[in-house]
Amino acid sequence: MAEKKTKTKPSPFWVRVQELLDKPVRKRMGVNLSRIAKLSKAGQTVVVADKVLGTGEIKHAITIAAPAFSASAKLIIAKNGGKIVSLEKLQEQNPSGKDVIILI
């Protein structure tokens, strides 16, 4: 007997992330590490709906998912023990979006 395929409804969290990513590029602004540092805590997972820029310092280790990162942002995040993951990988790991914050 063939298995019945069930269609899963996407989490409201990931629907909102997709809405933010669908905005025109000219209406989105990059997010600096200084802003991420102010609005996050150590060990948190953060989704950024645009490019992560390397201005500022981040002193705690966090996981960041974004569509793009500047080279300096990658270095600073790695230097402080943080992780960079793709949005797709984070969605696979956390389909509900629980304990993840969105920064715009």
For the stretch 91-101, pLDDT in tens is 999 999 999 99
Asked if residue 64 is part of any domain, the answer here is yes
pTM: 0.85
In a domain, 50, yes or no: yes
Could you tell me if residue 5 is inside a domain? no
Q: Is residue 1 part of a domain?
A: no
Residue 71 covered by a domain:
yes
For residue 29, the model assigns a pLDDT of: 82
Query: Which CATH number belongs to the domain containing residue 71 in this structure?
Result: 3.100.10.10
How many domains, the chain? 1
Per-residue pLDDT at 2: 54
Which pLDDT value is given to residue 6? 57
pLDDT of residue 5: 59
The range of the structural domain enclosing residue 85 comes to 12-21+28-103
Token code pair at residue 85: 């993951």
Task: Name the token pair of 70.
Answer: 């500047």
Question: 74-80 long-range CB contacts below 8 Å, 24 or more apart?
Answer: 76/33, 77/33, 77/52
pLDDT for the residue numbered 27: 79
Chain segment 50-63, per-residue pLDDT in tens:
999 999 999 999 99
Q: Does some domain include residue 6?
A: no
| Residue ranges in the chain modelled with pLDDT below 50 | 1
